[in-house]
Amino acid sequence: MKKAEHLLSQATLQKSPTGIQGFDEITAGGLPAGRPTLVCGSAGCGKTLFGIEFLVRGTTLYNEPGVFMSFEETNEELIKNVASLGFDLEDLIKHKKIALDHVHIERSEIEETGEYDLEGLFIRLGYAIDSIGAKRVVLDTIESLFAGLLNQMILRAELRRLFRWLKEKGVTAIITGERGEDTLTRQGLEEYVSDCVIMLDHRVTEQTSTRRLRVVKYRGSLHGTNEYPFLIDETGFSVLPVTSLGLEHKVSNERISSGITELDKMLEGKGYFRGSTVLVSGTAGVGKTSMAAHFAEAACKRGERVLYFCFEESPSQLMRNMRSIGINLEPWAHRGLLQFQATRPTFYGLEMHLAVTHKAVNAFNPEIVIMDPINTFILGDTENEVKSMLMRIVDFLKGNQITALFTSLTSSESALESSDVGISSLIDTWLLLRDIELNGERNRGMYVLKSRGMANSNQIREFILTDNGVKLRDVYVGASGVLTGSARIAQEAHENAGLLRQKQDIERKRRELERKRKVMEARVAALHAEFKSQESEALKNLEAEQEIIRLQKMDKIEMAASRKSVTEKRKTKKHTKP
């Protein structure tokens, strides 16, 4: 969009927007206003439909009525043919928004008389323009108008006269023309007198058809010069503006879950960056689609819209298969959060796949896009062309902050750390699933090959599919290498037996210590009892001895008292003697 705005800022020529998705971007605003534009191409490339949509979009979006003058199809045929695009010409004619006029020109009459004059055409076209106040005109096709005119000098003069008359009327005109063998048109003159030349191409390469558009010439304005794929479907034209894709997209620091808890833990416990690209690669049967389904289910549970491109399985088959591992996508599809786009890669050319992807994304406006698998595009095209197409898709999705997950099948002969489509350099997070064959078993392992902007685990995790989805287990690495499956179970059993023996030995030693403690405590208790007994006896002896000592003291006191009394009696007797 920024490049388109840059083109618009430099454009000085007044533009008439066509309303055709993508076309106004590559032409920096549309067709030159008040000037004629030549739309040329081979039969079936969409010239008439381009002109019709130019008129319909003009009157419905920009309030500019238009006149369609046909020299081949009748009005009734034209109305029926464009009804498939959802254009109701009868209603627009009724409200005087569009005027149709079919002019039948008989070549034999011109050859017989030798006369040719555009005055009658000018009067008829002028009346149609004035009757509805038309601002846009389409003449389809110019070969029929000049079919009987062989003189190149007269032909060039009449073409100039026609183009000058259209400019004087001030209408923005489209004139369609059939492509010549070595020229843009059969006469090879129209492109020189036109202010703008648009070439439509419908080519078939290796049984695959592709429609492309190129702005060959645009006087007075910058414009995209590449070939652009375009679609014609039930909604009309849509052109993919490849030149607008670049490296100007914004980035987000928001993280979103992969749907697998163990994988999120390997990515700092937070999952992928929103708006990033994720590649899940590996050999056949390792679980790439299962991881994509997990991601889709997790996004739908968050209330986000998921656009899932299936290139090998039908949606019903994919949903049935995912139910076997506990992932039920069907309710999300019914609720409108999950939309499937299922086509074989060979159904379109690469450019058409690119255009279809753009159209589907713009229509559904998803937060998540899944493409499963992308290596199937290589079947009919070279690796460089596939890489170019996928690079444009990556740029487009990143520019819209859409998180993309791609799966890619890696052949067993090629290196695992490479993708068959060669887009690994465009990927932000690359998850590699691999087979681990040991002891006659085939098991799965997964590791993060890279993840830009975040720390990530360097461990190889055993990848198993269960009734409850994908589970990641720590892979046992022993002396003989990585062990998975029954080898891991046997090794774990051996380790568990060793741990059991260690536990039993520890328990035995603990019991022995407990026995010794109890023996010691019993001995201590016996000694304590013996001591108590001896202490009691000793205390009794001590008390007896103390009682004897007390009694002895009492006897002495009594004896002393007795002696004192005798002595006093003797003294009394002495005093009373006559």
Known catalytic residues are 72, 312
Residue 371's H or E segment, with its range, is strand 368-372
CB-based burial, 363-379: b 16+ in 10 Å, e otherwise: eeebbbbbbbbbbbbbe
Q: Assess contact for 31 and 174: CB atoms under 8 A.
A: yes
Q: Residue type for 497, please?
A: A
Tokens of residue 500, six digits: 């059991």
Pairing type for strands 31-32 and 15-16 reads: antiparallel
Q: Assess contact for 431 and 280: CB atoms under 8 A.
A: yes
- CA–CA distances in Å: residue 295 to residues 309, 346, 373, 380, 406: 14, 27, 15, 29, 11
DSSP string, 527-570: HHHHHHHHHHHHHHHHHHHHHHHHHHHHHHHHHHHHHHHHHHHH
- Between CA 138 and CA 55 the distance in angstroms is 8
- CA–CA distances in Å: residue 544 to residues 532, 539, 549: 18, 9, 9
Q: Give the three-class secondary structure for 173.
A: strand
Tokens of residue 318, six digits: 């994919």
- Between CA 29 and CA 552 the distance in angstroms is 138
- CA–CA distances in Å: residue 510 to residues 42, 178, 515, 516, 517: 95, 99, 9, 10, 10
For residue 170, how many other CB atoms are within 10 A of its CB? 11
Q: Assess contact for 417 and 432: CB atoms under 8 A.
A: yes
- Between CA 152 and CA 12 the distance in angstroms is 34
Calculate helix-pair angle for 119-132, 152-169, nearest 10 degrees: 20
Q: Assess contact for 39 and 196: CB atoms under 8 A.
A: no
